[in-house]
Amino acid sequence: MTAAPQPEDDNPLRGPPELLGEFGEFGGRYVAETLMPAVEELARAWPKAWADPTFVDEYRAILRDYVGRPTPLTEARRLPEAIGGGRIFLKREDLNHTGAHKINNCIGQVLLARRLGKTRIIAETGAGQHGVATATACAYFGMPCTVYMGAEDVSRQALNVVRMRLLGAEVRPVTSGSATLKDAINAALRDWVASVADTHYVIGSVMGPDPYPLMVRELQRVIGDEARAQILDRIGRLPDAAVACVGGGSNAMGLFAAFVPDAAVKLFGVEATGEGLQGRHAATVAKGRIGVFHGMRSLVLQTDDGQLLEAHSISAGLDYPGIGPEHAHLHATGRARYLGISDREALAATELLARTEGIIPALETAHAIAALPAVIRELGPEAVVIVNVSGRGDKDMHTVMTHLDPATLALIDEAERGRKAARAAHHGAAGHGGGEGLIVDGHELRAERKEGA
Amino acid sequence: MSAGVDRVAAAFARARAENRAALVGYLTGFDPDRNGSLERIFAACDGGLDVLELGVPFSDPTADGPTIQAAMTRALASGATVAGALALAAEIRRRFELPIVLFSYANPLVSYGPERLSRETAEAGADALLVVDLPPEHAEVLRGPASARGLGWVGLIAPTTTPARRARVLAASTGFVYAVSLTGVTGAPLDPSDPALHAGLATLRSASSLPIVVGFGVRKAEDVRALAGHADGVVVGSALVEAGARGPAALGELVKTLRAGTLRA
């Protein structure tokens, strides 16, 4: 059956409704009928807003004056020596307000929600970064905000829960399913099914039903547009490659978008192979199969019977069993290539970037850094490479310490033993010294390490 | 003996002839396990269902409320598969003549293979498909092969559906159309006497000659009674799943009570 194009479906960027797969055979609007009108409304409103100078000017002004754009393109000084050469340019999304690229998308979507007359915002979050960025945008605009977060993640990322609440958002823990990111998205979709009249759902990546993958890419392409202008200004030519980590894939699509038409610029997405492809991982391109999930047709980690598998990565931002449909398309057409980096390699790259450049990357970003040696091996030591530093590593310090820094833990243990000995000697007498805070932390840290063991 | 979309039509015609709405009941296959779900389904069919919606479990049922989510999680934990659900349908068909509609989400069904799914669904004696996240724009992948086997395709109309979309959904539907009673997920609270709901059903009635069923949030005989005059069938899902957890006898009793509510004044 081929329905005729309907007048209400006038998105000029897309063909008739039966061809909703925006990106080759990927994309589409696989949602319950209740949501279809809202998704159609967004698909109509988005291109109009994006073509409206008033909207775009307001978006850009907020990125400039509030988010802190443009972000620098920093040439790495000492990293190339450690990875076999190359000229490496770091696109510094870690310097954005809230510490990652996520805010670019949130500002744009909340602006659009206001334009649509929506009075309430919902979002999902895994590690909490998109939740914090959405809560921030809502605080900026004075909009009520509800963030769904898997109960597992609420306890793993308690500090981001505090941040969101401090910013005035309501955080709702999700206990269904695996109680992680995919279930948080399910819960947000269920909220939206019931609240669609007054609520906008700010999806945090280039995923979900059309027009989200397209819209989020456009709201993130400021990364690539800036980087392109910056590299041309700096060296007078385009780079040989652009590299970025991929969970759902929004920071990568934001960077890639500016270079996709330049066939000479190779595009590398880096996904998380977690504990290894034989174990628990989030390698959707390597191990996924075409499926329909969270409103889109894309590559999905699933059983032979079409049930979703739980993903795993040490970085919560890559811990998702799907991938944005445009990435699936870039993979299928060979325009971009997708490499895999394990938890251990990512941890090592975190330390490498910290020590060679004085930049502590998010664990997500560290996957992209860890892929650089392979990229340089392939393209040669003269290659010019832009890598997206999608976020900063502050949020990951607990994880880094438990996995990477036994020396610090040993130090804390030693201080703890010393405190106990001192207590025993003085029978709890006064005189707790300056080490108290550290020792108190030590209790928490040891407890966490046991859980992880 | 009719099958597929014809069997569906016959069931609605029979109910209409008895001046009542058809009672459509939803239960999840393999909840709590294979045999337990069969006992419950048999009890519900014996209790007087006119149409059975058999839930084929999916790991991420985004249109369902907590009750059916939990049922699907239990079912998957006890080994539910698409093939297993089709085998259940075949066992039900050996004992009962009522139409069986497979209720699920796109991924497990498409992953099984549209041709294979349609062939085996027909062979099992099930009659129609209801796929929550396949709107008409994307339905053809399953609807085409299913229609070729004589199976019905049940489209959904929501309170938010625009007139243009309604036409699209109706054009894709065979067997019957499912009117979602509320803007929300399955099992949410419903006011079955809401004049806006009745008006929506009347509008839909005037736009289609297919049987119309109304569901989401229907729990009690009074709810069924309040809706029986406004639709050709009334769907009860979460309330049956909850009653099933109290045992087949309790479920059978509830179905009898609900059935009494289908009679039109």
DSSP per-residue codes, A369-384: HHTHHHHHHHH-TT-E
What is the 8-class DSSP label of residue A278? Answer: T
A296 touches chain B (CB under 8 A): no
Q: Which of A190, A297, A310 to mutate to test the interface with B (most CBs of B within 10 A)?
A: A190
Chain B nearest-CA residue for A27: B138
B3 touches chain A (CB under 8 A): no
| Confidence category of residue B1, pLDDT binned at 50, 70, 90 | low
**Interfacial A residues in 304-333 facing B (CB < 8 Å):** 304-308
Smallest CA–CA separation between B221 and chain A, in Å? 25
Q: What angle do CA B204, B210, B214 make, to 5 degrees?
A: 55
B153 touches chain A (CB under 8 A): no
Tell me which residue has tokens 């894709």: B172
Q: Average per-residue pLDDT in chain A?
A: 89
Taking the C-alpha atoms of B124, B127, B130 and B136 in order, what is their torsion angle to the nearest 10 degrees? 120
**CA–CA separation, B82 vs B52, rounded Å?**
17
Question: Can you tell me the mean pLDDT for B26-30?
Answer: 98
Smallest CA–CA separation between B261 and chain A, in Å? 28
The pLDDT of residue A155: 81
Per residue in A41-79, is it b (16+ CB within 10 Å) or e — as a string? Answer: bbbbbbbebbeeeebeebbeebbeeebebbbebbbbeeb
Instruction: List chain A residues with CB under 8 Å of B171.
Output: 1, 3
**Interfacial B residues in 196-255 facing A (CB < 8 Å):** none
Instruction: List chain A residues with CB under 8 Å of B107.
Output: 291-293, 300, 302, 306-308
Instruction: List chain A residues with CB under 8 Å of B168.
Output: 3, 6, 17
Query: How crowded is the C-beta side of A57, counted as CA atoms within 13 Å?
Result: 3
Candidate list A124, A226, A271, A364, residue with the active-site label: A124
B139 touches chain A (CB under 8 A): yes
Instruction: Name the residue ranges covered by the structural domains of chain B.
Output: 5-260
B103 touches chain A (CB under 8 A): no
The pLDDT of residue A404: 78
A313-354 residue pLDDT tens: 999 889 999 999 999 999 999 999 999 999 999 999 999 999
Instruction: List chain A residues with CB under 8 Å of B105.
Output: 292
Q: Could you report the average pLDDT of every consecutive run of 10 residues in chain A (453 residues)? A: 38 39 88 93 94 98 98 98 97 98 98 97 94 98 97 86 97 90 93 94 97 96 98 98 97 98 97 95 96 96 96 91 97 97 96 97 97 98 98 91 78 80 70 38 36 34
Of A1, A8, A193, the CB nearest to B143: A1
The pLDDT of residue A352: 96
Chain A nearest-CA residue for B183: A194
Structure tokens at B164: 């243009």
**CA–CA separation, A360 vs A349, rounded Å?**
10
The pLDDT of residue A445: 34
Record: contact A190-B132, CB cut-off 8 A: no
**Interfacial B residues in 35-94 facing A (CB < 8 Å):** 57-63, 65-66, 69-70, 73, 76, 81-83
Instruction: Name the residue ranges covered by the structural domains of chain A.
Output: 22-64+101-216, 68-99+220-397, 405-452
B108 touches chain A (CB under 8 A): yes
Structure tokens at A392: 């900063």
CATH of A68-99+220-397, one of 3.40.50.1100, 3.10.20.30, 3.40.718.10, 3.20.20.150: 3.40.50.1100
**Interfacial A residues in 24-63 facing B (CB < 8 Å):** 28-38, 40
A233 touches chain B (CB under 8 A): no
DSSP A19-84: G--SBTTBEEEE--GGGHHHHHHHHHHHHHHHT-HHHHHHHHHHIIIII-PSPPEEEPSSHHHHHT
The pLDDT of residue A217: 97
Active site annotation includes B191: no
Smallest CA–CA separation between A222 and chain B, in Å? 32
Instruction: List chain B residues with CB under 8 Å of A31.
Output: 62, 133, 135
**Interfacial A residues in 200-229 facing B (CB < 8 Å):** none
Chain A nearest-CA residue for B60: A186
Kindly list the distances between the CA atom of residue B92 and the CA atoms of B35, B153, B250, in Å, as whole numbers in the listed order. Answer: 12, 20, 19
The pLDDT of residue A431: 44
Q: Which of B109, B111, B238 to mutate to test the interface with A (most CBs of A within 10 A)?
A: B111
Candidate list B64, B127, B223, B242, residue with the active-site label: B64
Smallest CA–CA separation between A348 and chain B, in Å? 35
**CA–CA separation, A343 vs A319, rounded Å?**
11
Instruction: List chain A residues with CB under 8 Å of B156.
Output: 32-33
Question: Can you tell me the mean pLDDT for B10-37?
Answer: 98
Instruction: List chain B residues with CB under 8 Å of A300.
Output: 107
B77-122 residue pLDDT tens: 999 999 999 999 999 999 999 999 999 999 999 999 999 999 999 9
Taking the C-alpha atoms of B89, B91, B96 and B98 in order, what is their torsion angle to the nearest 10 degrees? 10
The pLDDT of residue A427: 63
- What is the ipTM score, two decimals? 0.96
Helices A343-357, A397-404: axis angle to 10 degrees equals 110
B165 CB burial (10 A radius; 0-12, 13-18, 19+): buried
**CA–CA separation, B193 vs A243, rounded Å?**
58
Lowest mean pLDDT among A398-412, B51-65, B204-218: A398-412
Active site annotation includes B18: no
Of B60, B135, B161, the CB nearest to A186: B60
The helix/strand/coil state of A154 is helix
Structure tokens at B182: 């509320």
The pLDDT of residue A428: 53
Of B60, B106, B158, the CB nearest to A34: B158
Smallest CA–CA separation between A448 and chain B, in Å? 29
DSSP chain B: ---THHHHHHHHHHHHHTTB-EEEEEEETTSS-HHHHHHHHHHHHHHT-SEEEEE---S--TT--HHHHHHHHHHHHTT--HHHHHHHHHHHHHH--S-EEEEE-HHHHHHH-HHHHHHHHHHHT--EEEETT--TTTTHHHHHHHHHTT-EE-EEE-TT--HHHHHHHHHH--S-EEEE-SSS-TT----TT-HHHHHHHHHHHHH--S-EEEESS--SHHHHHHHHTTSSEEEE-HHHHHHHHT-HHHHHHHHHHHHHTTB--
Of A2, A36, A186, the CB nearest to B62: A186
Domain A22-64+101-216, CATH class in plain words: alpha beta
Instruction: List chain A residues with CB under 8 Å of B146.
Output: none
Question: Can you tell me the mean pLDDT for B221-246?
Answer: 98
CATH 3.20.20.70 fits B5-260, yes or no: yes
Instruction: List chain A residues with CB under 8 Å of B134.
Output: 30
Instruction: List chain B residues with CB under 8 Å of A8.
Output: 162, 164-165
Whether the domain at A22-64+101-216 and the domain at A68-99+220-397 fall into the same CATH topology: yes
CB-based contacts of A219, cutoff 8 Å, min separation 6? A59, A104, A105, A107, A108, A109, A254
Chain B nearest-CA residue for A196: B183
Secondary structure element (H or E) that encloses residue A171, with its range? strand A170-174
**CA–CA separation, A51 vs A31, rounded Å?**
27
